[in-house]
Structure 1
Amino acid sequence: MGREVQRIRLLLVEASEILRDGLAHLLQSESNLDIVSVSDTPSQAVKAARAHKPDVVLTDIECSKGSAIELILRIRKVVPDTRIIVFTNSRRIDDFFSAMSIQVAGYISKENSVESLIKMIALAAEGKLVIDPPMAAIATGGLKALDGHRREARLNGVSTLSKQEKAILNLMADGATNQEIANALVITENKVKIHVQNIMHKLHARHRLEATVCAIEERLQRSIDGSGPERM
């Protein structure tokens, strides 16, 4: 007998009843997904996360009866290892950066097919950062509109990073903490902190988020150009 495939435990948070029920029905039919709970409010979602400890949470950036950013932070306190994907129709660059600043596992459009959505849920469950082409284009456009000189300096700085610094920056973009980076690269957390400071200096980044955004933009540009893999 073959080994049983581990199913991904998914918590779906969606205010629209029609979309919530329809999506739950479509996703539940997939053999690798297990919809552990469906919620329409932040309070319900936090209770469900505590009770079911999902592998992945799929939520809109626009929640009824509360802030999605606050919801994500509350879920993180309950189940720190859960991967959280923002699934939205929002085209606001501020929403994208707000989500990226709290290190979500993905930011994807509701325009995706069910097949694409399932693939991205699986990638997020594996620890990868998922941003689909529509959201990548919006993010790249927004980034280009930001401080042009600083942005160019940051992107040029990527080429000056050492192999280990690039590895650390990629892990930062995946949402890893300093301790998680240390564990992944088998170095001390203090060594990671030193590398992060060096990375920020080379990228002319004023804080960790700016350095992380630089890594995300580099990935997005590679994806759009077809010039290279997701990671640097």
Structure 2
Amino acid sequence: MIRVLLADDEAMIRAGVRSILVTDPGIEVVAEAGDGREAVELVRAHRPDVALLDIRMPRLDGLAAAAELRSAAPEVAVVMLTTFDEDDYVARALEEGASGFLLKASDPRELIVGVRAVAGGAAYLSPRIARKVIARLNGARLSRAAEARGRIEPLTPRELEVLALVGEGMSNQEIGRELFLSEGTVKGHVSAILARLGLNNRVQAAITAYEAGLVRR
């Protein structure tokens, strides 16, 4: 069962998102918050698998809440849910450790796909957001490729294999099947990769893999 905390300052939005999530029998909404400060407190109390945070909330916005959760509850996957897709919001969300970014105007099925993806250890960006991220990567690819290749030099051959599959969007379970490793072993490799490269989350790792030319598919 995937345990989710939902935070949004609009009760009607929370009700709508909850009604979508509970259509999946494998997802349970364990707590709801009306602002960012309450969200952080409830995450500490309930330790959900996924925290679904609106970006614009009173007391503490979603970005600031994500930053606190990165240190207070690093095992909880954070997904930003918003009506805005401006580059600055996306960049800041990823910098603060978010594993996913979903737009409220997206297809409702995308919400469940995104929650399941990050709960499984993968990253998830709304397709509209992903296109913008890829466009930015393409524009800076040549200048950043050499830097990225230099950054990954300290990694072991096995870590490079894992990083390449993270870049392809695979979850820990999928990487384990691909490389004949246990899910726990893959999780250990991912943690080591993030630490060696000084990265905050799998999205940043995937971008590094892409820039370094590890992603072939």
* 2:206 maps to which of 194, 205, 215: 215
Residue 82 (structure 1) shift? 1.0
Percent of aligned pairs sharing the same letter: 22
| Secondary structure, counterpart of 1:58 in structure 2 | strand
Q: Is the 8 A contact 2:78 2:99 kept in 1?
A: yes
Q: 1:180-214, CA deviations, whole angstroms, 9 ceiling, x for partnerless residues?
A: xx964878x9xx58x946xxxxxxxxx757xx747
Give the TM-score of the pair, scaled to structure 1. 0.66
Change (3 A) 1:150 1:40: same
Partner Cα distance (2:125, 2:67) in 1: 20
- The code of the aligned residue for 2:144 comes to R
Residue 101 (structure 1) shift? 1.8
- The code of the aligned residue for 1:30 comes to D
Residue 58 (structure 1) shift? 0.6
Residue 163 (structure 1) shift? 4.1
Q: Is the 8 A contact 1:91 1:138 kept in 2?
A: no
- The code of the aligned residue for 1:215 comes to A
Q: Is the 8 A contact 1:154 1:214 kept in 2?
A: no
Residue 90 (structure 1) shift? 1.9
Residue 124 (structure 1) shift? 0.9
* 1:44 maps to which of 30, 38, 42: 38
Aligned to 2:6: 12
Residue 97 (structure 1) shift? 1.7
Q: Is the 8 A contact 2:102 2:125 kept in 1?
A: yes
What's the Cα RMSD here?
Answer: 3.9
Partner Cα distance (1:76, 1:214) in 2: 16
Q: Is the 8 A contact 1:108 1:132 kept in 2?
A: yes
- The code of the aligned residue for 1:44 comes to E
Aligned to 1:150: 143
Q: Give the number of the structure with larger relative contact order, counting CA–CA contacts within 8 Å between residues 6 or more apart.
A: 2
**1:17-166 to 2 correspondence within 5 Å?**
17-144=11-138, 149-154=142-147, 163-166=157-160
- Of 107-116 and 159-168, deviating more is 159-168
Partner Cα distance (1:75, 1:156) in 2: 30
Give the TM-score of the pair, scaled to structure 2. 0.70
- The code of the aligned residue for 1:123 comes to A
Gapped runs of 5+ residues in structure 2?
173-183
Change (3 A) 1:107 1:140: same
- The code of the aligned residue for 1:216 comes to I
Report how many aligned residue pairs link the two structures. 196
